[in-house]
Amino acid sequence: MSDLLVMKFGGTSMGSAERIRVAARLITEQSARRPVVVVVSAMSKVTDLLLDSLRKAEAGDQADLDTNLEMLSARHRECCCGLLPESRQREAINGVEALIAEFARIAKGVMMLGERPPRSVDEAVAVGERLSAYLMAGHMESEGMPAVAVNAAEVIATDAVFGNATPLMDATRTRAAAVLRPLLDQHKVPVVTGFNGSTLDGRPTTLGRGGSDFSASILAAVLDAAELWIWTDVDGIMSGDPRLVSDARVLPEITYAEAAELAYNGAKVLHPRTLAPLAQRGIPVWSKNSFAPEKPGTRILPSVDAGHGPHAVTSMTDVALVSMEPASSVVSGTRVMARALDGLARANVEILAFTSSSYRQSFCFLVRQSELERAREFLEEDLALELVHGYLKPIEVDADVALIAVVGEGMRGTPGLAGRIFTAISRHDINIIAIAQGSSELTIAIVVRRGGLELAVRAIHGEF
Ligand code: ADP
Ligand code: ASP
Ligand code: MG
């Protein structure tokens, strides 16, 4: 393993000229000691603005599209002026305008088509990250720190699932060696765009919202990095979402498995797929605050001294509970379950939690609301005969629910925790709709009414 450090800066850490200056100083400090690869997100809110612009284009709304493009341009031009000496500003602004023109060209195509083909969307939204990589590298160069902006479409190879692509690690390793190693050998800092990649035949892709964390972990893995530092706007990974739990505290150390459980169950601080490439190679990760770099942050490791009890509670809204139940004993519940799961797999719908009862053979599962319609379509088609003949009760959907996950290695084999969690919730008169605990005992997932979510999260956090 090399001494290479990968540093990722999120949207707020790249959110203004002042923030980019701070980030550049953090990079400079480290690159004086060891080779560094930087991964950057788009400036905060820029990805939302780009996606909104494409929707405006699809709707044929030229005036609103122009307003958005002007906002995009003004924000990045202002940043150029705040970051660069006057002698370099003209050229940098031209570079910014050229990238925005690329976006505008795709938006125009979307307007003419009256639709947003997923691959055009991926090509277009990556412009946000390309702008911030361009600004960061330009600023570093102007401060005498050799840096080169790199479009991750040249580095990260993925499958062709536009909007949520999966990396092809071997091909990415080859590309990274060809593109990034020579820069490192010349003592230049590659500033790579987060979020995007491309298929083997060169079509642009993205890794899903919040995907820059994942980009950084993919690069850390294929470059055999010594560490990955993820710079964000909070002091590390916390025992609860700081927006919900005012007394949430920073966790000094957690395991890959805990971090992955938290991320999969809604903790926005990490993209859910970030941990897998690192865990395989045991590369340590730090989550750190670029607004308070002196604070230690959270270290994510293969194992930690777990103690007894949960480490953190997280939650997810925008989910829906789907319930299914055979209406007749002629139908095997297990077979219905198997076919339902098969349908969901083919629909590419992720199951967030699953529970079943053995006697009535009913079962329910939680999915994202964004995937609900697709799930329902596949289920109703696959089980059409059973539904029509009344062997299966109509599929029930409850979208007024939320998921809470209580996570911790220390929950394994510790009796009484579930009881304390449920008592804490019930003190607030909140009804539990469904419960799931995997046999790893790492996570207890609880489904409650959406309206009771905040109170329940605080009650559980307070209890532990
Ligand atoms: P970035 O742009 O740096 O990737 P994100 O906004 O994606 O940052 O993620 C950081 C945010 O995640 C924090 O500002 C915080 O509000 C939210 N968050 C949710 N759950 C947690 C948690 N358990 N610990 C820390 N932050 C959390
Ligand atoms: N800019 C992208 C997003 O907002 C990726 C990221 O920030 O991680 O989803
Ligand atoms: Mg993020």
Question: What is the per-residue pLDDT across 191-207, written as a single tens digit (0 to 9) for each?
Answer: 999 999 999 999 999 99
> In the prediction, which pLDDT does 32 show?
96
Return the SS3 of 232. strand
Q: How many CB atoms lie within 10 A of CB 348?
A: 12
> Which residue from 42, 26, 30, 75 is spatially nearest to 215, judged by alpha carbons?
42
Mean pLDDT of the chain: 95
Q: Tens of pLDDT along 375-427?
A: 999 999 999 999 999 999 999 999 999 999 999 998 888 888 889 999 999 99
Report d(CA 109, CA 120) in Å as an integer.
Answer: 9
Task: Give the model's confidence band at 77: pLDDT under 50 very low, under 70 low, under 90 confident, else very high.
Answer: very high
Report d(CA 410, CA 253) in Å as an integer.
Answer: 13
Radius of gyration of the chain (CA): 24
For ligand 3, a single-atom ion, the residues with CB < 5 A are 10, 210
C-alpha separations of 457 from 18, 42, 169, 258 in Å: 35, 31, 37, 18
What DSSP assignment string belongs to 303-350?
-----SS-SEEEEEEEEEEEEE-BSSTTS-HHHHHHHHHHHHHHTTPP
Residue 367 has pLDDT above 90, yes or no: yes
Give every CB contact of residue 151 below 8 A, 6+ residues apart in sequence: 126, 130, 133, 192, 193, 196
Pairing of strands 227-232, 285-289: parallel
Task: Give the model's confidence band at 22: pLDDT under 50 very low, under 70 low, under 90 confident, else very high.
Answer: very high
Q: Minimum mean pLDDT among 11-20, 239-248, 431-440: which range?
A: 431-440
Could you give the maximum distance between any two Cα atoms of the chain, in Å?
81
> Which residue from 84, 174, 183 is spatially nearest to 135, judged by alpha carbons?
84
Q: Tens of pLDDT along 115-163?
A: 999 999 999 999 999 999 999 999 999 999 999 999 999 999 999 999 9
Q: Tens of pLDDT along 299-325?
A: 999 988 877 788 999 999 999 999 999
Give the mean model confidence (pLDDT) for residues 251-258: 95
Task: Kindly indicate whether the domain formed by 5-233 is annotated with CATH number 3.10.50.40.
Answer: no
Give the mean model confidence (pLDDT) for residues 270-284: 95
Residue nearest to atom 12 of ligand 1 (CA): 269
Burial of 403 (0-12, 13-18, 19+ CB in 10 A): buried
Q: Tens of pLDDT along 27-73?
A: 999 999 999 999 999 999 999 999 999 999 999 999 999 999 999 99
Tokens of 451: 């309206």
- Calculate what percentage of the chain has a pLDDT beyond 70: 99
Give every CB contact of residue 42 below 8 A, 6+ residues apart in sequence: 11, 14, 50, 128, 129, 131, 132, 195
Q: Which residues pair with residue 229 across a beta bridge?
A: 7, 286
Report d(CA 220, CA 229) in Å as an integer.
Answer: 10
Tokens of 429: 């008169």
Give the closest ligand to the alpha carbon of residue 43: 2
Report d(CA 356, CA 368) in Å as an integer.
Answer: 19
Report d(CA 185, CA 17) in Å as an integer.
Answer: 29
Tokens of 339: 């076919």
Residue nearest to atom 6 of ligand 2 (CA): 210
Task: Give the model's confidence band at 329: pLDDT under 50 very low, under 70 low, under 90 confident, else very high.
Answer: confident
Gap from CA of 67 to ligand 3 centroid (Å): 26
Gap from CA of 236 to ligand 1 centroid (Å): 8
Domain residue limits, the chain? 5-233, 312-463
Return the SS3 of 238. strand
From 207, 215, 232, mutation site for ligand 1 pocket: most ligand atoms within 8 A of C-beta: 232
Q: Higher-confidence residue: 360 or 81?
A: 81
Task: Give the model's confidence band at 276: pLDDT under 50 very low, under 70 low, under 90 confident, else very high.
Answer: very high
Tokens of 190: 């590659």
Q: Tens of pLDDT along 352-363?
A: 999 998 777 899
> In the prediction, which pLDDT does 268 show?
94
Give the mean model confidence (pLDDT) for residues 154-176: 97
Give every CB contact of residue 316 below 8 A, 6+ residues apart in sequence: 265, 266, 352, 402, 403, 405
Gap from CA of 51 to ligand 3 centroid (Å): 16
Which phi and psi (to 5°) does residue 246 adopt? -70, -30
Gap from CA of 183 to ligand 1 centroid (Å): 31
Q: Is 289 in the pocket of ligand 1 (CB under 6 A)?
A: no
Give the mean model confidence (pLDDT) for residues 73-101: 97
Gap from CA of 67 to ligand 2 centroid (Å): 22
Residue 180 has pLDDT above 70, yes or no: yes
- Calculate what percentage of the chain has a pLDDT beyond 90: 91
> In the prediction, which pLDDT does 332 show?
87
Tokens of 327: 């209406």
Do 47 and 101 touch, CB atoms closer than 8 A?
Answer: no
From 47, 103, 213, 215, mutation site for ligand 2 pocket: most ligand atoms within 8 A of C-beta: 47
Q: Which atom from ligand 2 is nearest to the alpha carbon of 10?
A: 7
**How far is CA 372 from its chain centroid?**
20
Gap from CA of 267 to ligand 1 centroid (Å): 7
Residue 1 has pLDDT above 70, yes or no: no
> In the prediction, which pLDDT does 20 show?
98
Phi-psi region of 314 (alpha: psi -120 to 50; beta: other; left: phi over 0): beta
Look up residue 159 and give its amino acid. Answer: D
> In the prediction, which pLDDT does 277 show?
96
> In the prediction, which pLDDT does 322 show?
97
Give the mean model confidence (pLDDT) for residues 219-226: 98
Q: Tens of pLDDT along 442-463?
A: 999 999 999 999 999 999 999 9
> In the prediction, which pLDDT does 16 show?
98
Pairing of strands 5-9, 312-324: unpaired
Q: Which atom from ligand 1 is nearest to the alpha carbon of 12?
A: 2
> Which residue from 325, 371, 366, 269 is spatially nearest to 8, judged by alpha carbons?
269
What number does CATH give the domain 312-463? 3.30.2130.10
Pairing of strands 204-206, 312-324: unpaired
Do 450 and 401 touch, CB atoms closer than 8 A?
Answer: yes
Do 269 and 287 touch, CB atoms closer than 8 A?
Answer: yes
Query: Which amino acids bring their CB within 6 angstroms of ligand 2?
Result: 10-11, 41-42, 47, 128, 194-195, 209-212
Which phi and psi (to 5°) does residue 403 adopt? -110, 135
Report d(CA 281, CA 279) in Å as an integer.
Answer: 5
